């Protein structure tokens, strides 16, 4: 599906009808309004000679997780606007061509190939699903195009190929947000502090669900916590009725449950869990993707008092950079930025820095500039690990609270768990799991 334009460029793509099974109403109206006049054949021919920087954004824009694509779009559009108003990159505009992965690996690879071969993009960013990201990683290495992952969390994406059977990390794949591994380190720290002895999980029936539980257990064991692991439930993606799984967990009577359910699946689960009396029966529920998308907005079904994590918090760190981003974003969209918005926003600035440092949009030179790069963004100061290309950023966990000033759910109190690769490796020493950092 042809999706949101960062600039007019998308319309050329729409005119070609190069890859699409459908166009949603919003995309159509926006693309039409954005610049019918610019529709031409250049995009069809893969014209890449307009100067500046052309990036391909690959997110989920349809289906149960489309809200992630929407959030990312807000983030990168804001960055495009800011960068171009600020003179662009070496005086040339940056533009984004967005494509819908539909959360499907085959579709994502098809879109990626189209972006590279037909649109001639200088680099890629995005990806929401861990499964899709794992399928894409070897492909970008083959195509030799840099990819900045801003959301997909599997540690195997940045665990160098050969480190583990599932590892697909390579020199072309970078990740600017924290991973499932770092997030579960934070979750284990939270769990170890709670008076909960028995833990269970309910997660989606694919790698992300299983990996979350594996890493959660491994880190808790690494921390020496005296806990037991009881029930685990793995409903399929887009399950419409979670009641049997909810009932199974409640029957197992754990003290705490960690859930990496995400997107609309999380919303569906929350409504049915509430109806089944989940929050009376289970003392602690840790939502690892809980503050991920539209959930912080007013009317969020995420219950106050529960524990949730985020890969970026609009109030952490308390820096001028973060405050400026938060307020600019709020002014533009009337809502606080979520981590997917911030990740996509920051990807554009990372590319600007890499291109300016390399003095070129050459794929290889941009990749080299990313390697070990130190950067500062709303999320704070961090660097990319030279071996894994994973950004070394902290885990953030907190308690869901309603904030009157921002009319939104926020994490308050919120805890930042700084961690380095060595510490993670040490905690995972007894497991076969790579830290991915």
Partner 1 sequence: MEPSTTLAFVGLADVVIGLSLGSRLFLIAVGLSLIFGVLGVLNFAHGAFYMIGAYVALTVTNQLIDNFWIAVVAGALAVGLIGVLIEVGTIRPLYERAEGELDQLIVTFGFVLVIHEAVRFVWGSQPYSMDAPASLAFSVSIAGSTFSAYRLFVIGAAFVVMAGLWLFVTKTYFGSLVRGTSSDREMASMLGVDVPRLYTAVFFLGSFLAGLGGALSAPLQSTSPALGDQVIIDAFIIVVIGGLGSMFGAFVGAMLVGLMQAIGPQFIAAGHIAIPFVAMVIVLLLRPEGLFGGIGE
CB 371 within 8 A of CB 384: yes
Cis amide leading into 413 (omega within 30): yes
**Identity of the residue, 250 or 347, whose beta carbon is nearer to partner 1 in the bound complex:** 250
Residue 243 binds partner 1 (CB under 8 A): yes
Residue 422 binds partner 1 (CB under 8 A): no
Residue 205 binds partner 1 (CB under 8 A): yes
Pick from 2, 250, 344, 437 the residue near partner 1 by CB under 8 A: 250
Residue 247 binds partner 1 (CB under 8 A): yes
289: Cα within 13 Å, side-chain hemisphere: 29
Q: Which of residues 58-117 bind partner 1 (CB under 8 A)?
A: 62-64, 66-67
Residue 42 binds partner 1 (CB under 8 A): no
Pick from 17, 51, 87, 271 the residue near partner 1 by CB under 8 A: 271
Pick from 44, 105, 264, 421 the residue near partner 1 by CB under 8 A: 264
Residue 297 binds partner 1 (CB under 8 A): no
Strand partners, 257: 200, 285
Residue 281 binds partner 1 (CB under 8 A): yes
Pick from 118, 214, 231, 342 the residue near partner 1 by CB under 8 A: 231
Residue 12 binds partner 1 (CB under 8 A): no
CB 210 within 8 A of CB 233: no
Residue 372 binds partner 1 (CB under 8 A): no
Question: 221-226: which pairs have CB atoms within 8 A and are 24 or more residues apart?
Answer: 221/430, 221/431, 222/188, 222/426, 222/427, 222/428, 222/429, 222/430, 222/431, 223/188, 223/189, 223/192, 223/427, 225/188, 225/191, 225/192, 226/197
Pick from 90, 171, 198, 238 the residue near partner 1 by CB under 8 A: 238
Which residues, including other chains, have CB under 8 Å from residue 168's CB and lie 6 or more apart? Answer: 134, 137, 138, 156, 157, 159, 161
Residue 51 binds partner 1 (CB under 8 A): no
Neighbours of 422 (CB within 10 A): 10
Residue 64 C-beta: closest distance to partner 1, Å: 6
Residue 31 C-beta: closest distance to partner 1, Å: 17
CB 223 within 8 A of CB 428: no
Pick from 244, 305, 359, 372 the residue near partner 1 by CB under 8 A: 244
* DSSP 8-state secondary structure symbol assigned to residue 169: B
Task: Output helix, strand, coil percentages for the chain, rounded to the nearest 5.
Answer: 40, 20, 40
**Identity of the residue, 81 or 238, whose beta carbon is nearer to partner 1 in the bound complex:** 238
CB 183 within 8 A of CB 311: yes
- Applying CB under 8 A, the site for partner 1 has a residue count of 35
Using alpha carbons, select from 16, 9, 79, 14 the residue that is nearest to residue 50.
9
CB 367 within 8 A of CB 356: no
Residue 310 binds partner 1 (CB under 8 A): no
One character per residue 347-366, x = contact with partner 1 (rule: CB under 8 A): --------------------
Residue 240 binds partner 1 (CB under 8 A): yes
Q: Which residues bind partner 1 (CB under 8 A)?
A: 22, 24-25, 62-64, 66-67, 205, 210, 231-234, 236, 238, 240-241, 243-245, 247-248, 250-251, 253, 264, 267-268, 271, 275-277, 280-281
């Amino acid at each position: 599906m042809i999706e949101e334009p960062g600039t007019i460029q998308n319309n050329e793509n729409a005119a070609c009808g190069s890859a699409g099974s459908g166009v949603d109403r919003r995309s159509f109206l926006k693309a039409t309004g954005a610049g019918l006049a610019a529709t031409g054949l250049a995009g069809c021919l893969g014209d890449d000679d307009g100067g500046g920087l052309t990036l391909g954004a690959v997110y989920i824009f349809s289906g149960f997780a489309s809200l992630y694509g929407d959030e990312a779009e807000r983030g990168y559009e804001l960055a495009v606007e800011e960068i171009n108003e600020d003179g662009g990159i070496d005086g040339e505009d940056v533009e984004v061509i967005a494509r819908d992965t539909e959360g499907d690996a085959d579709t994502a690879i098809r879109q990626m190939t189209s972006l590279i071969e037909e649109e001639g993009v200088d680099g890629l960013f995005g990806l929401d699903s861990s499964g899709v990201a794992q399928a894409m990683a070897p492909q970008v290495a083959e195509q030799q195009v840099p990819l900045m992952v801003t959301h997909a969390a599997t540690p195997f994406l940045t665990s160098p190929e050969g480190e583990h059977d599932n590892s697909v990390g390579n020199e072309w794949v970078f990740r600017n947000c924290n991973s499932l591994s770092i997030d579960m380190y934070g979750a284990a720290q939270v769990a170890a502090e709670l008076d909960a002895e028995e833990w269970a999980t309910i997660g989606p029936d694919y790698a992300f669900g299983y990996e979350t539980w594996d890493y959660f257990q491994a880190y808790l064991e690494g921390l020496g916590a005296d806990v037991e692991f009881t029930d685990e439930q793995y409903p399929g993606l887009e399950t419409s009725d979670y009641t049997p799984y909810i009932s199974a967990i409640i029957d197992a009577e754990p003290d705490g449950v960690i859930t990496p359910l995400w997107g609309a699946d999380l919303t569906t689960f929350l409504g049915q869990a509430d109806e089944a009396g989940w929050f009376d029966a289970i003392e602690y529920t840790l939502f690892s993707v809980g503050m991920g998308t539209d959930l912080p907005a007013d009317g969020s079904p995420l219950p106050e008092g529960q524990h949730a994590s985020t890969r970026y918090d609009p109030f952490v760190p308390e820096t001028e950079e973060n405050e400026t981003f938060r307020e600019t974003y709020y002014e533009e969209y009337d809502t606080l930025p979520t981590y997917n918005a911030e990740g996509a926003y920051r990807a554009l600035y990372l590319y600007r820095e890499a291109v300016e440092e390399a003095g070129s949009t050459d794929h290889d030179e941009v990749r080299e500039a990313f390697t070990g790069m130190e950067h500062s963004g709303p999320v704070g100061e961090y660097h990319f690990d030279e071996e894994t290309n994973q950004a070394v950023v902290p885990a953030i966990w907190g308690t869901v609270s309603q904030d009157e000033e921002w009319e939104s759910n926020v994490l308050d109190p919120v805890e930042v768990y700084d961690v380095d690769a060595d510490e993670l490796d040490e905690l995972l020493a007894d497991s076969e799991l790579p830290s991915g950092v």
